[in-house]
Amino acid sequence: MNKKTLFLAQSDTTVGFLSQDNKKIAKIKQRSLGKKFLVTIDSLKRLQKFARVPNKFKKKVRKESKSTFIYPNNCAIRVVKDEFHLRFLKKIGWSFSSSANLSSLNYDEKFAKKVCEIIVEDSRGLQEKGSSKLYKIGRKKIKRLR
């Protein structure tokens, strides 16, 4: 499986584009390359390769589900705990993730299926759902953004 492939899959939150090539996602979504992408990962162990979690917030990061944390190094990362999405992520380890739509528009199934290279569909199908909770972690405090 080529990790640079653009996948369409049901994530733990909503239907999204997944790839280890953020430029490919940005081009498809017609989004500025200057905007950073969320990274979804398969384990807390892998999180150590992307960001350092301040000791004060390690328990919260471990316990939260469907939550994205922006770390002091400005990386937005979500550790996936959903069993279906986790099966997919275990194969590639991590991916950039973004909702499956054109920038600032709603999900369009025809568009999403047309532009992706591989569709990963499980028993849940592909459904637009709510986004993850979003927290910004500083060295001393944490703030909920959504």
The residue with greater pLDDT, 125 or 40, is: 40
In sequence order, the 6+-apart residues with CB closer than 8 A to the CB of 34 are none
Angle at 141 between CA 136 and CA 61, to 5 degrees: 60
Q: What is the mean pLDDT of the chain?
A: 88
Which two structure tokens, joined as six digits, stand for 22?
A: 């953020």
Q: In Å, how far are 17, 77, 135 from 74, measured between CA atoms?
A: 21, 9, 11
Per-residue pLDDT at 1 exceeds 70: no
pLDDT digits (tens, 9 = 90+) for 23-80: 999 999 888 888 889 999 999 999 999 999 999 999 999 998 889 999 999 999 999 9
d(CA 137, CA 7): 29
Percent helix, strand and coil across the chain, each rounded to 5? Answer: 30, 25, 45
What is the value of pTM for the model shown?
0.85
Cβ(41)–Cβ(47) under 8 Å? yes
What is the CATH number assigned to the segment(s) 7-144? 3.90.870.10
Q: In Å, how far are 45, 66, 73, 121, 125 from 95, measured between CA atoms?
A: 15, 16, 18, 17, 20
The residue with greater pLDDT, 11 or 72, is: 72
* Per-domain residue ranges of the chain: 7-144
What is the residue type of 74?
Answer: N
